Chain A
């Protein structure tokens, strides 16, 4: 049975988070490689998941304060739009 895109994305997000957190024991590395090789959709979802984390890293240059400020103004703007 084909697993759904949602489910694949969820698993890819978990793997990417673990890889990027640097806490992946060698036996899990092998499991990840096997999972990636099993289905090209796994590889695609994993690629996107690591890109999501890397996109967040890019914001380190502006710092958390600027990001919090931007997030706050975004939430205010969207709640205003809802009214």
Chain B
């Protein structure tokens, strides 16, 4: 069981989590009664985690965006409220997310900065525990020894850190205010086509 989740975690970390702020931004263009963006995002992760052949999906990032969109569509179908949202509005959710083959090194560099920026906002103890365990790769025991705390406390700090990062990664930190190197991410589909045509 554990191995299955680890593999899916890596898939989500690579293809979805770094783009969650962008997907949220698109969803804000489609205000729908009784439907919160947090709920759409959570349902998107649930559906992705439950997808049987996740690893063989050819365009994972587009698949994630379409999954979020289908959550909205399903909500509209089940909702008794006559919605003013037209399918034209729903297209606003669509976004160009480059797949991982494009500019991989630059993308990884940005990922490091985004993660570091979120880590910088954590309480020091949570940050230390997460860096020692996950990035330095120390065992739970060695991490506890290094920090002079119990293994149980290491786990507690890590869990609290993960909890806060779930929120911080969703908001996207500073990457929004940075002059956009991945400008294509934030323009509308039609603008992207114009750019690409030049």
Contact = CB atoms under 8 A, between A and B. Distances in A.
Contacts of B73: none
B155 A54 contact: no
A44 B136 CA distance: 28
Contact of A13 (B12, B45, B132, B159): B159
Contacts, number: 166
Contacts of B57: none
23 contacts: A9-B166, A13-B163, A16-B162, A17-B155, A19-B2, A21-B140, A21-B158, A44-B44, A44-B46, A47-B45, A48-B12, A50-B6, A51-B13, A52-B169, A53-B13, A54-B14, A56-B130, A59-B112, A59-B135, A64-B131, A74-B116, A74-B117, A74-B119
Please list the 5 inter-chain residue pairs (A to B) with the smallest Cβ-Cβ separation, ordered nearest first.
Answer: A50-B9, A44-B46, A70-B116, A51-B12, A54-B13
B12 A50 contact: yes
Given A23-B140, A50-B6, A63-B135, A70 B113 contact: yes
Interface in B1-46: 1-2, 5-6, 8-10, 12-14, 16-18, 38-39, 41-46
Given A60-B134, A67-B119, A21 B155 contact: yes
Contact of B112 (A23, A48, A67): A67
B123 interface: no
A51 B43 contact: no
Contact of A67 (B44, B116, B160): B116
Contacts of B112: 59, 62, 66-67, 70
Give the interface size bracket for A toward B. 35 or more
Category for how many chain B residues contact A:
35 or more
A40 B135 contact: no
Contacts of B16: 51
B49 interface: yes
Q: Which of B1, B17, B116, B121: most chain A Cβ within 10 A?
A: B116
Interface in B139-163: 140, 155, 158-160, 162-163
B49 A56 contact: no
A1 B134 CA distance: 36
B46 A43 contact: yes
A42 B166 CA distance: 14
A56 B134 contact: yes
Interface in A30-74: 33, 40-41, 43-64, 66-68, 70-74
Contacts of A66: 112
